[in-house]
Amino acid sequence: MPQILDGNRVRDEIMNDLKPRVAALAAHGRPPGLAVVLAGHDPGSEIYVRNKVRACQQLGIRSETLTPPDSVTTEELLGMVAELNARPEVDGILVQLPLPPRVDAKRVAAAIAPDKDVDGLHPCNIGNLVVGLPGLRACTPAGILELLKRYGIPIAGKRAVVVGRSDIVGKPVAFLLLHEHATVTMCHSRTAGLAAVCREADILVAAIGRPAMITGEYLAPGVTVIDVGMNRLDDRGEVERIFRNSPRKLAAFDKNRSVLVGDVDPFDVAEKAAAYSPVPGGVGLLTIAMLMSNTVASAERRAGAC
């Protein structure tokens, strides 16, 4: 049986490691502060932000949520970000995506002070990642590295294949793996011979956003698979096909009218991989934990600079 890379376990370890650091900051001045801007009423974003606020409460991080309406303009959001940049008690700023269609999301993201960019996606922080300088790292890629390291999965000298080239996951995780001395190949939907390239991987990171696209044809025996996909299936036929008429999954679908599946076929990965992160229960749990880690790190750096 393959080793399950349990996101619950690693998340709890990260959160426990952060508690004394938060307490030390609070004892010597103030706790870390995180501000989240949630524009509009996207249901998924609202759930995600509630989970972030809950994580702050668990650690003793001071959090606040700003909720401008759907009608907010780019200029108004830029003004809010400027005010948060200037407030000394705010160590981290996160503008939750997606933003309303009329808003220039790239301008807003670039307006966040790099030392408060706890999403790790400001061009300055991406540049620091590329050249190997210290800086805040994108949360999901940083969580992937934590998962591998805390389970003792060797990275140096290994062949890593990243499927997906997004600015949020694919590109940052490729550079993080490079800095850990892996040999990295980045692939995408237009890569010729994609399955053959994937079969060369010792570590395969699937972040292409297509349900169960990575089948057994793409997997070499003994590979470590990190499945970043979070695809919600609302078609019973698709659930039957992907989960091979699993009574448990079909019952879950009938109850909730949807189920989650990653980018990797759940049965093929269980047969071929030496280790893998499940969906749900894997990488997705680490994104908020790494957001908390970035917020604490930002507070520590800023406290040392004062």
Q: Give the β-pairing of 231-233 and 259-261.
A: antiparallel
The sign of the torsion formed by the CA atoms of 93, 94, 100, 102 equals positive
By annotation, the residues acting in catalysis are 52, 96, 119
| End-to-end CA, the chain | 52
Alpha carbon dihedral 195, 199, 203, 208, in 10-degree steps, equals 0
Question: Nearest 5°: CA angle at 305, between 304 and 306?
Answer: 95
| Residue 282: closest CA among 206, 238, 236, 227 | 227
Q: Please give the Cα distance from 301 to 306 (Å, whole number).
A: 9
| Residue 68 token pair | 């401008």
From residue 266, alpha-carbon distances to 1, 189, 270, 292 in Å are 14, 20, 6, 30
Whether the CB-CB separation of 126 and 176 falls below 8 Å is answered with no
Q: Please give the Cα distance from 226 to 205 (Å, whole number).
A: 5
DSSP assigned state of 102: T
Q: Which residues contact 207 (CB under 8 A, 6 or more apart)?
A: 162, 163, 164, 166, 169, 170, 173, 228, 229, 263
For 291, other C-beta atoms within 10 Å of its C-beta total: 26
Q: Give the β-pairing of 259-261 and 275-277.
A: unpaired
